[in-house]
Each structure stands twice: as C-alpha cells, then as structure tokens.
Amino acid sequence: MVDSTPSSSPSPSMPPSATAAAAIPFRSDPDLRGDGVGLPAAALACLLVLAAAIVVLKRWGPGSAALPARRLRAVQVIESVRLADRTRVSVLRYRDRELLVAHSEHAIAVLSDEAATPAAGDAA
C-alpha cells in the first residue's frame, strides 16, 4: 500500500535549495503595501508643482513685463549666405552701420560699410 501523505524528508530528485525555498512561507510586508493613497497624492502633488511652474513662467518668464527688457546685442547678423563650403557673405549691423562682410576659414574682408537704413519695424 502506498502512503499519499507528503514526507518531511527531501526526495533525492529535488535539490536541497528547492526544498528550503518551498519551506519558507510567503509574507507580505505591510509597510510596502501602502494604503492606496500614496499614488494619487503623488500625482496630485506633481500636478500642483506643474501648475505653479506654468504660473511662474507666465508671470516672470521670457518676454514678460515684470522683467526688464534685454539689451540688444551690439552686433546683429541681419542675413548670411553661404557661397562655398567654408565661405559666407553676411550683412552685419553694428550701432548705426551696416557692413557687408565676406568670411572664410582663414580670412575676413569688409566688402561694404554704409549707414544703416531703418527697418520697417524700427520706424516710429
């Protein structure tokens, strides 16, 4: 007659580590489970921080009236065109002058130097 009750001794076909792991009961840690409030609270906190960042950027961000206007650069590149791989012709504005400049890898040449004409947006 064959006994159907499990024996407490490990069978020769099972490795000892498998029987040791099977003997340890599973227990959940109540600290890691949480009460279900953590994720929604974290999502709400992230949304509040995002909303605050949007308000701050709209009020004090770039181009706002609350900050002083940025000083225009002394040299402005009006237009630049590539003539060859390493050669360009550029129109530069410096104070009240417009310069037509050719520049390459090893040289710069001023082709024209004239008084700047007011642009359509500059006329008051």
This model's pTM is above 0.85 = no
| Nearest residue to 111 via CA among 87, 85, 75 | 87
pLDDT at position 89 over 90: yes
Mean pLDDT of 71-91: 89
- Please write the tens of the pLDDT for every residue from 13-24: 656 555 555 677
- Please write the tens of the pLDDT for every residue from 104-117: 999 999 999 998 87
Residue 80 makes CB contacts below 8 A (sequence gap 6+) with: 88, 89, 90, 91
Give 24 or 57, the one with higher predicted confidence: 57
